[in-house]
Amino acid sequence: MPLRETEAVVLRTHRLGEADKIASLFTRHWGRLRGVAAGALRPKSRFGGTLEPLSYVRLWLFERENRDLLRLNSAELIESFFEMQKDYRVQVAAQYVAEVSERFLPEREVNERAFRLLLAVLRGMKRSGEINRPLLYFNYWLLRLGGFLPDLAHCAACGRALGEEGYYGPGSEGLLCAGCRTSQTSLTVSAASLGMLATRCQGTLDLWLAGEKAPAGVREARRFLEELIESHLERKLVTRQLLAEEV
């Protein structure tokens, strides 16, 4: 069993027995996977304090064929996102990013663009202390990279241009126009928010955060994309509820 090296973002960890940890990871070379870090909870372990949620780490692990859990050998910290999580809003936003990544990204599927997206979003939150634009950007690109972003300009049912507003309901593939909306379409999204989505998310997040204040409609657009993600996952996200309460 060869020892392999990769970079990874730690999505979540939990305790296993007295001294071990299971880490859910998004790795650069093998995509999302889970590994056991034996002895990680011991004071002098080879993992130090590296296996914390959202840490960006360099990781050495043993590949095991046909095994669900890999064995982690050691890790070193490349970049920490711990300090920023002392702000509760940022902590919840970071947990949302981890939860969505864990649910949305298929296991063992390499996705370099999603890996860079995850880092860009975490760094955006760390530098700006803002969560709305980073989360909007994250949702937009995750849906788009997965091929699940609907047409934002036309009605999903009749194909007409949407006009001033689009309407969305859980489980729907896309937005509906005023003529096609039903009692299920509980969410209204303004054309301004949709236009902002289409333009601002094309550049880098850094550029957007540096250039101006968050425009009106960011939260509305963010909630619409959260609805899309939940519809796609066919489940409610725990952290989305927390975000709605706090942010």
Instruction: By CB under 5 A, name the binding residues for Zn ion.
Output: 155, 157-158, 177, 180
User: CB-wise, 129 or 159, nearer to Zn ion?
Assistant: 159
Q: In whole angstroms, what separates CA 244 from the centre of its chain?
A: 16
User: CB-wise, 12 or 154, nearer to Zn ion?
Assistant: 154
Closest CB 171 distance from Zn ion, rounded Å: 17
Residue owning tokens 């890999």: 70
Closest CB 143 distance from Zn ion, rounded Å: 21
Closest CB 188 distance from Zn ion, rounded Å: 14
H helix or E strand, kind and range, residue 36: strand 31-37
Residue 209's identity, in one-letter code, is L
| Bridge partner residues of 190 (DSSP) | 165
Whether the CB-CB separation of 5 and 11 falls below 8 Å is answered with no
User: CB-wise, 158 or 216, nearer to Zn ion?
Assistant: 158
Closest CB 174 distance from Zn ion, rounded Å: 10
For 216, the token pair is 């009106």
Closest CB 172 distance from Zn ion, rounded Å: 12
Calpha distance 220→216 (Å, rounded): 9
Calpha distance 172→184 (Å, rounded): 9
Calpha distance 205→210 (Å, rounded): 9
User: CB-wise, 120 or 156, nearer to Zn ion?
Assistant: 156
User: CB-wise, 120 or 157, nearer to Zn ion?
Assistant: 157
Whether the CB-CB separation of 35 and 71 falls below 8 Å is answered with yes
- Please state, as a whole number, how many other Cβ atoms lie within 10 Å of the Cβ of residue 25: 26
User: CB-wise, 49 or 179, nearer to Zn ion?
Assistant: 179
For 223, the token pair is 């909630």
Calpha distance 39→144 (Å, rounded): 39
